[in-house]
Chains A and B, each alone.
Chain A
Amino acid sequence: MSTPSVPGDRAGSPSGRRAWWPGRAGHGFVAPYAVLLIAFGVVPTGYAIDFAFTDAAGHFAGLANFTTVAGDFRFAAAGAHVALYLLFWLASLVVLVVGLALLLHNLAARGVGTALRFLYYIPGALAGAASVMVWLFMLDPTVSPAGFLLRTFGLDTFGQVIAPGHLPLVLTGIAFWTGAGGWIVVMHGALNNISPDLLEAARIDGAGRWQIARHIQIPLLRKWIVYMVILAFAVGAQLFVEPQLLSQASNGVAGRDYSLNQLSYDFAFQNDDLGAAAALSVGLLLVSLVVAVLFVVKSGFFDAE
């Protein structure tokens, strides 16, 4: 009775190999997922590529859309903004997350460490628009609980705080506030996987806390740090909601066309230039893909077999 459905079994059922449709059951299980993957992963990608090489009249346009984007006065600026933001954001993640995770992990009172980790983690619940709302208030000297700090730096109005030159810092602060706690938890888990015997041995050999961190813990965290940097890069390059809301809040003074995704959005919906919007998306996709593939290949993180 059961034989027709067995063939998908890798564990080697006796009659499996020569059925009329090997892997039928497996295909049944993955079919709906594959449909979604095609509809919302593959097709939009193909669509973007198609649009990127087509002009408004539907003819093949070569690289015209790409040169339009590259020649647009906003493009170089947006690219520079995103690059600068990424630099700040990734640097703060690596230094502060690893540092805080080590500090928390070495804490003698374990209950305090657990509580702090959880409290650091809570802003993660405010991802997206909510975090921007909160920080609009935090950065407005008139209502902020840290208003005295802002005024110490000579920033008396909201407009001064979100001056364009400050945006990389502001955006890094928001992203760090929402995202760092989660990564601290990850790093903590990774630190727990380091054998206590190893640390004990180092200590007996006379290594101080700093030397242990520098020569044992951080090298053993390397894989997780790479993972964090790659994912944070991928997310950071897609910056949209934060500058978009900032620009709404400042009446377009700060944050308009600040990031590449905003520019793509404006090409599509303000300039009615779908080709250029698609070309920009394709460029962004290409960058993320290269990073993703490099990661999969180089890190060995996802070696399935």
Chain B
Amino acid sequence: MPNDTRRPATLVHGVPTRRSATRGRPPRADHRRMPRRVPDPVRALVLAAFLLFFVIPVLWLVLAATKTDEQLVHGDPLAFGSWGALRRNWDALTAYQNDAILLWLRNSALYSFLALVITLGVTIPAGYALAMTEFRGRRTLLVATLVVMLMPNATLVVPLFLEVNAVHLVGSMWSVVLPYSFYPFGAYLTYIYFSTALPRELLAAAKLDGCSEFGAFRRIALPLAAPIVALVGFFSFVANWTNYFLPYVLLPESGQFPVQVGLGTLLSNVPQFNPTAGTLAVHRPELALATLLAITPVLVLFLFSQRFLVTGMLAGASKG
């Protein structure tokens, strides 16, 4: 594990990419690396083009929710519509199947939150035990975790349906919540975290002082685990909130849809996309508004936890 010396610091402080003081170089060095201060035009052009590519669709989506369908087609694509139109879109959207969008959002929140709680309760102790204790089957469990982690769960959706169907749980919210709760990537991250950030001597000392195995976990490991709890929680929440395939298959009733699946329903009622859409027609700005609502929780999390994200992606990537 050549990177071990670097990892504890990065995870604990949550600032992984900064060239830290351990290098012993003043920050000035960063600027000296650059021979040319003037940005060359080709590079600036490329970066600007990709900036447009990544940002314009998001911007457009935000603005689209404030327009009428008429403005959407004939107006300036990147102009603000009006608050009145936003209000009317909101009313029309919530009128769809009596507040269906709110119900779907509530479902998403409920499923993701329950799964989050179970994931943390299950994954953090497991990662801790994999890293800090010795038991029969430890290596098997670790390898199984790695393999399942790299095996995307979409392949298991249809088999999971067969399994859940066999125990007559199709349509129960637990048929989605429990599979969500199984989060091998989280167990792996926790394992990495504890095996690098928590000195074994500390645990050994605690036990010599009469701390039980569980006591050592609760009094020593858990207080140190805040960064990894946040990280696993974030990834698990985002993964579950954005999941489509599993609830699409396992929760057939509209009243149980999470918002992602609900968006699909709205989509098939937009006449411009589906000419056979019936009397429940949904207009395009309403669909844009619904999409915006559906992504808001994740977007807010993104804005406030970029550092955590960076840390986590590196933790997943830089193990070596």
Contacts and interface: CB of A to CB of B under 8 A. Distances in A.
A44 B60 CA distance: 41
B239 to A, nearest CB: 9
B48 to A, nearest CB: 9
Interface in A78-110: 100, 103-104, 106-110
Contacts of B162: 44, 47-48, 51, 274, 278
A37 B141 contact: yes
B184 A37 contact: yes
B267 A249 contact: yes
B208 A147 contact: no
A144 B76 CA distance: 10
Contact of B147 (A2, A10, A293): A293
Contacts of B299: 122, 125-126
Interface stretch (A24-32, A58-66, A67-75): A24-32
A5 B134 contact: no
B200 A23 contact: no
Given A186-B313, A303-B1, A9 B133 contact: yes
B207 A9 contact: yes
A41 to B, nearest CB: 5
Contact of B130 (A30, A133, A293, A295): A30
Interface-centre pick from A2, A48, A118, A264 (highest chain B CB count, 10 A): A2
A100 B61 CA distance: 25
Contacts of A200: 32-33
Interface string A115-127: 0101111111111
A229 interface: no
**Size band of the interface chain A makes with B:** 35 or more
A196 interface: yes
B126 A32 contact: yes
A289 to B, nearest CB: 6
Nearest to A180: B54
A120 B52 CA distance: 9
A172 interface: no
B62 to A, nearest CB: 11
B147 A292 contact: yes
Contacts of B314: 186, 189-190
Interface string A286-305: 00110111011000111110
Contact of A120 (B29, B50, B150): B50
B73 A133 contact: no
Contact of B47 (A103, A224, A268): A103
Interface string A42-59: 111101100100000000
B318 A29 contact: no
Contacts of A249: 267-268, 270, 273-274
Given A2-B211, A9-B134, A29 B126 contact: yes
Contacts of A11: 200-201, 203-204
Interface string B236-258: 00100011110011000000000
Interface in B16-75: 16-19, 23, 25, 29-37, 39, 43, 46-47, 50-51, 53-58, 60-61, 64, 72-73
Nearest to A286: B155
A122 B244 contact: no
A100 B56 CA distance: 18
B93 interface: no
Contacts of B272: 140, 158
B113 interface: no
13 contacts: A11-B201, A23-B135, A26-B138, A30-B135, A100-B50, A118-B306, A120-B50, A121-B306, A128-B242, A142-B73, A188-B17, A192-B18, A200-B32
* Shortest beta-carbon contacts, A-B, top 6: A23-B135, A26-B135, A29-B129, A33-B126, A25-B213, A292-B150
